[in-house]
Structure 1
């Protein structure tokens, strides 16, 4: 199994272009879609040679995953917790 980065994923006409990779061979749940028109995923097939397809290391994949997670919006529960803390600080003086 390899970890693949596909650049220029979204074409100008709005369609996705996986550069000839077999979508059935993408490991479900491994896909990362950052905001830079790329896709990262684990792939079980043969990787085609293409200028926009790169085999990357697990370290690179994990770094991108961490970067995406750090930019993700807070969950509903996380936001509620922060709101409750702010209310407690205002009402109870930080107790």
Structure 2
């Protein structure tokens, strides 16, 4: 199934995937808006109802992808954060 999450970033600046199990998100399927307020993704299970998690059709998912395709993926974000932390904590080692 395909989902859209709105109000993705919480008050602490962290991504809040609401009631979703991160392990059930299809790897590489999440695309984030440039302002990080929303994302669309493919999910491998049922989910607990939540006002900010909306089931969308495959067509809707595909229509969002071109709009936000050029933003970086979650894996790329993690890699960038790791580099920044290494630079901060280890002096770039």
Same fold flag (TM > 0.5): yes
Structure 1 residue 68 displacement after superposition: 2.2
Q: Which residue of 1 aligns with 2:77?
A: none
Structure 1 residue 67 displacement after superposition: 1.7
Provide TM-score, normalisation by structure 1: 0.67
**Aligned-CA RMSD value:** 1.6
Provide TM-score, normalisation by structure 2: 0.68
Q: Which residue of 1 aligns with 2:32?
A: 33
Structure 1 residue 29 displacement after superposition: 0.7
Aligned length: 70
- Structure 2's unaligned 5+ residue stretches are 72-93
- Structure 1's unaligned 5+ residue stretches are 74-95
Larger Rg: 1
5 Å-filtered alignment, 1:1-95, equals: 2-36=1-35, 37-69=37-69, 72=70
